[in-house]
Structure 1
């Protein structure tokens, strides 16, 4: 099984409760394609989301999502939200050394990075290590990275006072970034809230 990531944006903000309701809908077609939803990171403003799945390959995830999207109820939800900007990619997960569940639970800011040419995780890590004082000065702590298999996309999770602290620290450290946003995690066990 591999990790597969889905990035999405919405014209109308998505709420955590709507997201949980959507994920309760996934059962059959996901099981059929051996896809397991690992959780999602929903922007605080509800306009962006990153979902993590485990599946045999990216195509299995794509097929399961396509079948889910053909469901009449799902079409109505996605149309109401103005869902667009679908980007699906296989990748790997890299945790900060000594990461504990407690630290992972307080991750709250995400940085999107794109690269025109393939980069290695080590290259980006060397940049961040060189600028580690900038992160410390802004009370920003690295938690986890999702890194695309083609080496051109990266999502990094941090624990920080707010998104602006991460943006400033990343800028001062000379780190490439496309977007920085605060998020709330939505995990499979959260469906008890609905």
Structure 2
């Protein structure tokens, strides 16, 4: 399945709750996208998330339904963390 890096910009600092994470996870499962991992900026207003998804439109739909931005979506070829060691 293709990999996508998503940049999300938030006006306010993010505060994650168990319920909000559960809701996003359920929406992702319904649409067929799979979150792999995320980075949160030091000001807590921006995230960079790696997802598996069939296409960018599935990511946009999941973001729309969850009420979160998907400001930039970039398809990436592969992630190899050991290449940075």
Question: How many residues matched?
Answer: 82
Q: Is it true that 1:150 corresponds to 2:43 in the alignment?
A: yes
Aligned position for 1:113: 8
**What's the offset of the Cα at 1:186?**
5.4
TM-score (norm 2): 0.74
**Distance (whole Å) between structure 1 residues aligned to residue 79 and residue 72 of structure 2:** 20
Aligned position for 1:161: 54
**What's the offset of the Cα at 1:148?**
1.0
TM-score (norm 1): 0.37
Q: Do the aligned partners of residues 164 and 116 (structure 1) sit closer, same or farther apart at CA in structure 2, a change above 3 Å counting? A: same
Aligned position for 1:131: 24
Equivalent pair of 1:108/1:159 in contact (CA under 8 Å) = yes
Equivalent pair of 1:107/1:143 in contact (CA under 8 Å) = no
Identify, as 1 or 2, the structure richer in helix.
1
1:24-43 map, 5 Å: none
Aligned position for 1:175: 68
**What's the offset of the Cα at 1:141?**
0.9
Equivalent pair of 1:127/1:174 in contact (CA under 8 Å) = no
Equivalent pair of 2:33/2:52 in contact (CA under 8 Å) = yes
Deviation readout 1:110-132 (Å, 9 max, x if unpaired): 22111223223x25x74342133
Equivalent pair of 1:128/1:175 in contact (CA under 8 Å) = no
- Structure 2, unmatched stretches of 5+, are none
- Structure 1, unmatched stretches of 5+, are 1-105, 190-194
SS in 2 for 1:131: helix
